[in-house]
């Protein structure tokens, strides 16, 4: 049976002729009872704190488990996002290659058209030059003929 402070305070001893002084024994028992009460209170508080700490530990363990799950989920999601990003990057690169090929093809076609136009313009330039030279010859001939006719008219007058 556990010893309680009240048991100490209420303890009666039999009396004898040469025994202890009752007042000193009672004072000592009161001190022991007070200390026992203080120890019991301290023990109760310690047990309460222990219970609180156990609850906190359990709560933290649950939180840790949830955090581990979140970390794992985040890792999986990160891997998935990274994989999707790589796939999207590959699609973008492929589209860019296709567009670059198309642009190059169109540029080459445009360059071919420009070269053809250049050849055509050179031919037209030569033709125009020939026509100008021919026209110049005709004008010269006309002027020469006109000049001799003027001379003939002057001679006739």
Give the pLDDT of residue 114. Answer: 96
Give the pLDDT of residue 31. Answer: 87
What does the pLDDT look like over 96-114, one tens digit per residue? Answer: 999 999 999 999 999 999 9
Give the pLDDT of residue 87. Answer: 98
Question: Residue 87 in 3-state DSSP?
Answer: helix
Closest CA to 11 of 31, 27, 24, 29: 29
Q: Residues 6 or more apart from 29 whose CB is under 8 A from it? A: 8, 9, 11
Query: Can you tell me the distance from the alpha carbon of 131 to that of 151, in angstroms, rounded to the nearest whole number?
Result: 30
The pair of structure tokens assigned to 116 is: 């053809």
- CA contacts within 13 A on the Cβ side of 41: 7
- For the chain, residues with pLDDT lower than 70 are 1, 147-157
The pair of structure tokens assigned to 25 is: 């024994």
**pTM score, whole prediction:** 0.44
């Amino acid at each position: 049976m556990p010893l309680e402070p009240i048991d100490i305070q209420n303890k009666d001893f039999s009396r004898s002729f040469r025994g202890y002084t009752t007042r000193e024994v009672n004072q000592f028992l009161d001190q022991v009872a007070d200390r026992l009460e203080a120890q019991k209170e301290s023990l109760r508080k310690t047990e309460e704190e222990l219970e609180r700490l156990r609850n906190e530990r359990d709560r933290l363990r649950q939180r840790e488990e949830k955090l581990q799950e979140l970390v794992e989920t985040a890792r999986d999601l990160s891997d998935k996002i990274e994989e999707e990003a790589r796939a999207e990057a590959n699609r973008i690169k492929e589209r860019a290659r296709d567009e670059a090929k198309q642009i190059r093809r169109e540029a080459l076609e445009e360059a071919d058209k420009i070269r053809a136009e250049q050849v055509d313009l050179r031919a037209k330039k030569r033709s125009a030059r020939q026509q100008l030279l021919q026209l110049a010859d005709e004008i010269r001939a006309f002027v020469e003929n006109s000049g001799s006719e003027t001379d003939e008219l002057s001679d006739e007058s």
